[in-house]
Structure 1
Amino acid sequence: MNKFIHLPAAAFGLFLLHACSQGGEKAETAYPEAFDVSNMDTTLGPCQDFDNFANGTWKENNPIPPSESRWGSFNILLEENEAKLQEIVNGLLEKEDHSKGSNEQLIADFYRSYTDTQQVAALGIDPLQPYLEQINAIETLDDYVKLVGTMRPVGFTSFLSMYVDADDRNSSMNTLYVTQSGLSLREKDYYENNSPRIADIRKEFVEHVTRMFQLMDYMPDHARENAEKILDFETRIAGIQMSRVEMRDPVKTYNKRSYQELKALLPAFNWDVYTGESGLKADTLVVRQLDYLKGLNQVLENTPVEELKLHATYHLLTDMAPFLPREFQEESFHFYSTVLSGVKERKDLEKRALRTTNSMLGFPLGELFVARHFPESSREKMVEMIENLRETYRDRILDLKWMSDETKKKALTKLEAFTYKIGYPDKWKDYSNIDIHPDSLFANVMHVSQYEYGEMLDKLGKPVDKSEWYMTPQTVNAYYNPTNNEIVFPAGILQPPFFNPEADDAINYGGIMTVIGHEFSHGFDDQGSQFDWEGNLNNWWTEEDRANFDALTGKLAAQYSGIEVLDSVYIDGKLTLGENIADLAGLTMAYHALERSLQGKPEPELIDGFNWKQRFFLGWAQVWRGNITDERLLQQVKTDPHSPARYRINATVSNLDEFYDAWGCSEGANSLPPEERVYIW
């Protein structure tokens, strides 16, 4: 998904963040009805360091496994979900006669193809040869453009990308987008920052590309020289790309242009050839980064075709490395997981097979998952909680002192228009036409990619399917989609410690209710607030109210920008602003929703010596507890719009008067003077 869809936690990528499930025999974690006090470290009080107060002993007793870059509640729940998925897959593998095209056949045979390492080893890089021959045949820039268009359906990455998505200014219709791409290191700061830590990563990248070329015997005598050329080329395109902070502005990244205007922006790139090969063509489209296309024209005019061929060869190789023989997989893992994220060990074959199958065929597998592991009662409970929180949000908007009645009326209209999806799609997609065989891993991957591309292409110029899900049901996450004005909660996250039907209400409100509030709040963060109740990019604010909002959010951004997470490495308060707004607002809404639910009832009893207010915040801390490697922490700060988990706990509560009241705080590391605290929603 290419538009910004907000998540409560960093999305779990295909190969970047792994779980440690051993399969169906693993017992589920037993979660207490309240809060496990044995996880606490009370040597520091809650006002000094709330994260360690609530989670210190847990963090000490739960070091990061060698196959992970971080370890916390999200990872543990992911592991538990994958144990259930592995059990499902193991059951499918016991049969050989699944109907062709059935979910069972697709899943079982894809999994078998991944675990058939002898077949993968025997093929070597032969599956790449047709594509390598096309790259080697390139003689002109137009030849390169043709290759990029031809290979787009199988997921080939280049220095720009086109995709189909809902039109930000006409949310009921799909349109075509053009955006920047092509950075192996994911973020431009990795190419421009001269700190020793980042400079070492660039050196490691050159070593990595060198080894990859040597493994495939691609001009081995010039492998290092060619690797340096790739780094140089990517540094040039990084220099003209928008930063992640700049890309957070949906107005600046919405530039409607005619096809002829697109051609004039980047005349060196033969758009007729590209669109003819890719099928991605429309009379009008949206350019995400105008200056990038303008600057790219000069880069292309001054880049030898041979360097473009090198870039294409490496990206083909690295994109497909997970489906090539072991030595390619291990080299790719070394750089992208060990160097960039601090992961020490690869997962075993079965775990990698499950993760890849889940990534490629997530919805067919998800359909089997929810049939076994998501009761309808959980859906009903979620509806009740969402509506409770909507009422709380309504009251908070009405009580705002910084917003005029005119803008409040429109904010309430947007709040009322919020829709939600819970658990799983009401209608499942048909994947039966994908050709999957038990002995053809590379071909299987290509077939899935082609299916997904065809599905995207078929949307171009058509109405948006508002029922579509952009996350599989088993995913441990949730999201807000601004063009649908909807919040979505997959079944995967509606389990302990986020949601436990047996738990104390205060713990549940500090867990899943804060996630619900977080997603609601994304409709009113620095990006989502620019979309109206119909999901269109449209300013519904008065000038004065927007200025008040910007002043408050600027103050919050400055708070987070002052947090040092590593030596001379700070959180980027502007990059993380949307998530920090949502954390703060979500926690606030959940607290007051809990308070609302207790009106007219007896005061809840103490549990383990903690009152309901304190248990609420303990529930919040439990959700975000975790450990992280320094390498992954650096990567997160550079590339992730979410603040690191420790600061999601401490920095958020430091802004809430309710936290100070609950714990009797007056001063300490977690304390801010009242005039420095930020309340937005």
Structure 2
Amino acid sequence: MIRPSLPLVALLAVATVSAGELHGIQPGDINRNADACTDFFDYANGAWRQQNPIPDYMDRWSRRWESGEVNKEHVRDILTELSAKTDWPQGSAGQLAGDFYAACMDESRVDALGSKPVQPWLADVDAIQDTAGLQREIGKLHAVGVTVPFGVYASEDLHEPSKTIAHVYASGLGMPDRDYYLKTEPRFVEARAKYLVHVAKMFELAGLAPEQAKQDADTVFAFEKRLAEASFDNVQLRDPQLQDHPTAFADLAKLAPAFDWAAYFDAANMPHDAVNVMQPKFVQQVDKELATTPLAQWKPYLRWQILHAAADSLSRPFVEENFAFNGKFLAGTTQIKPRWKRCAEATDNQLGEALGQKYVEKYFPPEAKSRMQEMVKNILLAMDDTIRELDWMDEATKKKALEKRATFFPKLGYPDKFKDYKGVVVSRDSAWDNVVAASRWNVADNRSQVGKPTDRSRWGMTPPTSNAYYNPLQNEIVFPAGILQPPAFDVTATDAVNYGAIGVVIGHEISHGFDDQGAQFDAQGRLANWWTPEDNKQFQAKGQCVVDQFEGYEIEPGVHHNGKLVLGESIGDLAGAKIAYRAYLKSREGKGPEPTLDGFTPEQQFFIAWGQFRGDETRMETQRTMIQGDPHPVAKYRVNGPVSNLPAFREAFQCKADAPMVRAEKDRCEVW
């Protein structure tokens, strides 16, 4: 997020020198036929995109995404080494990760097994004879991560985040979100038609006759549509106030009396403590389904959800049909990822900390962590300066904001203590059975935290993950080793490049603590108001400027961003760019300016690094899916949107006041 205006920092004079030991941006990626002041997204790395079309198996492509795929090659190399050895001690990290990957890679065995691994699960559904049996089956599926039609997970108490409680949430849809079931625009109508065909085909692969498969698909869709009608939309899902419903355990029975909550929590080894019901209306709809929907309709739904969860771990026909709908239709990719990539992703997803230690040993040297720590420190200090200089926030609110900033807890690279996965049994016999075993452990590990003090050492991403996140309940910013690789972060790059790439990401995650969601949590991570009424009113107005800006961005005629959906991420990008730039200038104090490289000043390198890091080429099908449900804007507007508001960008490229990349002063957005 971002806060209002910083006084303009005078740009430093620099001497032009040839590239030295530290390199700058990628000059060959720049589209020299484009104008930075007209379309910075096209200018910053348009040449790279022209020369590097999206691979058939990807839905978007840039140096960043290419780096993510190279990162998977690193993971593959580790897993190949681990799986080549068959005498690891049973239950060791090497045995678990190695055998999981080996079983996944044994495509001939997976194909020979067909649907056999999942048939016992389907048979269990067929054997359900009463509501009690149905509820036991729901609990059994939840225990391995198939959260239908609702889910329960352990997370911090919204009002006492030092304690972990159970949260009951809405789940159970086979399409991306509720709007796919309800909206009348042609793309949603088409999605529903293709989904019905997809579900029927999956049923046929599992052994149903075509007519029965079609009938069951109709039943599944009708069931899921009723759930969708009771679900929040994507904008509502971003509002923590709407999902704050502390409920005494005894009152769960009043909310949903048809479900035996005591038996469920006992089977899950969770205490009968108060919970948070995130969507009470949805839970009431589930209760209604339990009370009134015949088992003959529940069974196809549960069978479908099992097949939906298992598809990528089964034989080729299941994988290809799953890809046809989710990959080709929804994402626009024309080719499925190579098997080794899918297996590397699956291993990281299920057993990421079993291979994480080996990953950081090879690919995250101590000097990288040290330099990152310095950058994080500088960007946090820049956020402090920004807050102090705000002209629209009174001193009382500033004090609270600075208190919150002071409690930020950065995590870099990897956990201090890796999970041991004790008790997980993985073999080379069945890829699906391994997924079940690992999922069961991960679910139980999460549930084991309910009723305990919150463990701040736990991570929500694995070390090889190329991503980052902010958790408002712990006020933590987390950067796994997987994202701390070029082009996001490079120990051989200038500060201008690193601050422009990973620095903006750091600033982005810090800003999430002060975006439309994060600003509702205080310094202790509690969902609590710390704003004066007048300051909050001004904050909302500044956020509305960002909403209006992104509402104006279309991906095709008539299809534009939902400004409220992308508000948090867009505040994060705007603030991230602003405070990272400020931190970069601050980092050079006492050192002197960095040199001009390849004809670009350090200030220009900073912004180009952002454009080159974020400059994804994205398939139109994926853009449509993003517009519908992703809180992140599409790449073009993630690049152009923030910098068009920044006077420092205009100065760096000497843009004229009426240039397309310069928003008029009356329209300029500035939150932090």
- What's the TM-score once normalised by structure 1's chain length? 0.93
Match of 1:555 in 2: 545
Match of 1:308 in 2: 298
Match of 1:23 in 2: none
Match of 2:663 in 1: 672
| SS of residue in 2 equivalent to 1:519 | helix
Give how far 1:94 is off: 3.1
> Aligned equivalents of 2:420 and 2:287: distance in 1?
41
Give how far 1:218 is off: 2.2
| SS of residue in 2 equivalent to 1:412 | helix
Give how far 1:219 is off: 4.5
**Are the counterparts in 2 of residues 655 and 672 from structure 1 also a CA contact under 8 Å?**
yes
> Aligned equivalents of 1:216 and 1:600: distance in 2?
68
Match of 2:529 in 1: 539
Give how far 1:270 is off: 3.5
**Are the counterparts in 1 of residues 542 and 669 from structure 2 also a CA contact under 8 Å?**
yes
| SS of residue in 1 equivalent to 2:120 | helix
Match of 1:16 in 2: none
> Aligned equivalents of 2:281 and 2:175: distance in 1?
21
**Are the counterparts in 1 of residues 144 and 439 from structure 2 also a CA contact under 8 Å?**
yes
**Are the counterparts in 1 of residues 313 and 431 from structure 2 also a CA contact under 8 Å?**
yes
Match of 1:283 in 2: 273
Give how far 1:611 is off: 1.6
Matched, 1:241 2:236: no
Match of 1:218 in 2: 208
**Are the counterparts in 2 of residues 110 and 357 from structure 1 also a CA contact under 8 Å?**
yes
Match of 1:18 in 2: none
Q: State the one-letter code of the partner of 2:663.
A: L
Structure 1: runs of 5+ lacking an equivalent: 1-5, 7-30
Change (3 A) 1:342 1:154: same
Match of 1:147 among 115, 133, 137: 137
Match of 1:347 in 2: 337
Q: State the one-letter code of the partner of 2:404.
A: K
Match of 1:261 in 2: 251
> Aligned equivalents of 1:670 and 1:303: distance in 2?
56
Match of 1:566 among 556, 562, 565: 556
Q: State the one-letter code of the partner of 1:308.
A: W
Give how far 1:350 is off: 2.3
Give how far 1:143 is off: 2.8
Match of 2:578 in 1: 588
Give how far 1:601 is off: 4.8
> Aligned equivalents of 2:92 and 2:461: distance in 1?
21
Q: State the one-letter code of the partner of 1:674.
A: E
Q: State the one-letter code of the partner of 1:253.
A: Q
**Are the counterparts in 1 of residues 117 and 430 from structure 2 also a CA contact under 8 Å?**
no
* Cα deviation 1:538-590 (Å, max 9, x = unaligned): 11111111111011001111110121112321111111111111100010001
| SS of residue in 2 equivalent to 1:251 | helix
> Aligned equivalents of 2:268 and 2:208: distance in 1?
28
Q: State the one-letter code of the partner of 1:359.
A: N
* Cα deviation 1:479-520 (Å, max 9, x = unaligned): 111111111111111121111122122111101111111111
Change (3 A) 1:36 1:407: same
> Aligned equivalents of 1:527 and 1:497: distance in 2?
29
Match of 1:126 among 116, 122, 130: 116
**Are the counterparts in 2 of residues 113 and 440 from structure 1 also a CA contact under 8 Å?**
yes
**Are the counterparts in 2 of residues 127 and 442 from structure 1 also a CA contact under 8 Å?**
yes
> Aligned equivalents of 2:117 and 2:495: distance in 1?
55
| SS of residue in 1 equivalent to 2:276 | strand
| SS of residue in 2 equivalent to 1:172 | coil
**Are the counterparts in 2 of residues 150 and 278 from structure 1 also a CA contact under 8 Å?**
no
Match of 2:178 among 173, 180, 188: 188
Alignment of 1:316-335 (within 5 A): 316-335=306-325
Deviates more, 1:328-337 or 1:220-229: 220-229
Give how far 1:378 is off: 1.2
| SS of residue in 1 equivalent to 2:143 | helix
- What's the TM-score once normalised by structure 2's chain length? 0.94
Match of 2:153 among 163, 180, 184: 163
Change (3 A) 1:597 1:122: closer
> Aligned equivalents of 1:179 and 1:393: distance in 2?
34
Alignment of 1:483-494 (within 5 A): 483-494=473-484
* Cα deviation 1:57-114 (Å, max 9, x = unaligned): 1111111100111112331111221122222222223322222222111121111111
Give how far 1:273 is off: 4.1
**Are the counterparts in 1 of residues 83 and 97 from structure 2 also a CA contact under 8 Å?**
no
Percent identity, please. 38
Change (3 A) 1:300 1:219: farther
* Cα deviation 1:374-396 (Å, max 9, x = unaligned): 11111111111111111111111
Q: State the one-letter code of the partner of 1:608.
A: D
| SS of residue in 2 equivalent to 1:171 | coil
> Aligned equivalents of 1:485 and 1:77: distance in 2?
28
**Are the counterparts in 2 of residues 424 and 491 from structure 1 also a CA contact under 8 Å?**
yes
> Aligned equivalents of 1:323 and 1:643: distance in 2?
32
| SS of residue in 1 equivalent to 2:464 | coil
Alignment of 1:364-403 (within 5 A): 364-403=354-393
> Aligned equivalents of 1:179 and 1:634: distance in 2?
26
Give how far 1:178 is off: 0.7
Change (3 A) 1:272 1:327: same
**Are the counterparts in 2 of residues 149 and 274 from structure 1 also a CA contact under 8 Å?**
yes
> Aligned equivalents of 1:86 and 1:158: distance in 2?
32
| SS of residue in 1 equivalent to 2:501 | helix
* Cα deviation 1:318-347 (Å, max 9, x = unaligned): 101111111111111111111111111112
Matched, 1:466 2:427: no
Match of 2:16 in 1: none
**Are the counterparts in 1 of residues 83 and 95 from structure 2 also a CA contact under 8 Å?**
no
Match of 1:435 in 2: 425
Give how far 1:133 is off: 2.1
Q: State the one-letter code of the partner of 1:307.
A: Q
Alignment of 1:403-442 (within 5 A): 403-442=393-432
Give how far 1:647 is off: 0.6
Match of 2:647 in 1: 657
Q: State the one-letter code of the partner of 1:653.
A: V
> Aligned equivalents of 1:43 and 1:643: distance in 2?
25
**Are the counterparts in 1 of residues 174 and 308 from structure 2 also a CA contact under 8 Å?**
no
| SS of residue in 2 equivalent to 1:662 | helix
Match of 1:45 in 2: 35
> Aligned equivalents of 2:232 and 2:306: distance in 1?
24
| SS of residue in 1 equivalent to 2:242 | coil
Q: State the one-letter code of the partner of 1:559.
A: Q
Matched, 1:293 2:267: no
**Are the counterparts in 2 of residues 152 and 278 from structure 1 also a CA contact under 8 Å?**
no
> Aligned equivalents of 1:492 and 1:277: distance in 2?
36
**Are the counterparts in 2 of residues 654 and 671 from structure 1 also a CA contact under 8 Å?**
yes
Match of 1:89 among 63, 79, 82: 79
Count of residue correspondences: 652
Alignment of 1:1-16 (within 5 A): none
> Aligned equivalents of 1:372 and 1:70: distance in 2?
27
> Aligned equivalents of 1:513 and 1:561: distance in 2?
27
Deviates more, 1:361-370 or 1:594-603: 594-603
Alignment of 1:496-507 (within 5 A): 496-507=486-497
**Are the counterparts in 2 of residues 161 and 180 from structure 1 also a CA contact under 8 Å?**
yes
**Are the counterparts in 1 of residues 465 and 482 from structure 2 also a CA contact under 8 Å?**
yes
Deviates more, 1:400-409 or 1:83-92: 83-92
Give how far 1:276 is off: 4.0
> Aligned equivalents of 1:241 and 1:90: distance in 2?
43
> Aligned equivalents of 2:646 and 2:98: distance in 1?
50
Alignment of 1:631-642 (within 5 A): 631-642=621-632
Q: State the one-letter code of the partner of 1:679.
A: E
**Are the counterparts in 1 of residues 360 and 463 from structure 2 also a CA contact under 8 Å?**
yes
Change (3 A) 1:87 1:294: closer
> Aligned equivalents of 2:38 and 2:600: distance in 1?
18
**Are the counterparts in 1 of residues 348 and 464 from structure 2 also a CA contact under 8 Å?**
no
Give how far 1:260 is off: 2.4
> Aligned equivalents of 1:57 and 1:121: distance in 2?
42
Deviates more, 1:458-467 or 1:559-568: 559-568
Give how far 1:290 is off: 1.9
Match of 2:197 in 1: 207
Give how far 1:610 is off: 1.8
**Are the counterparts in 1 of residues 271 and 451 from structure 2 also a CA contact under 8 Å?**
no
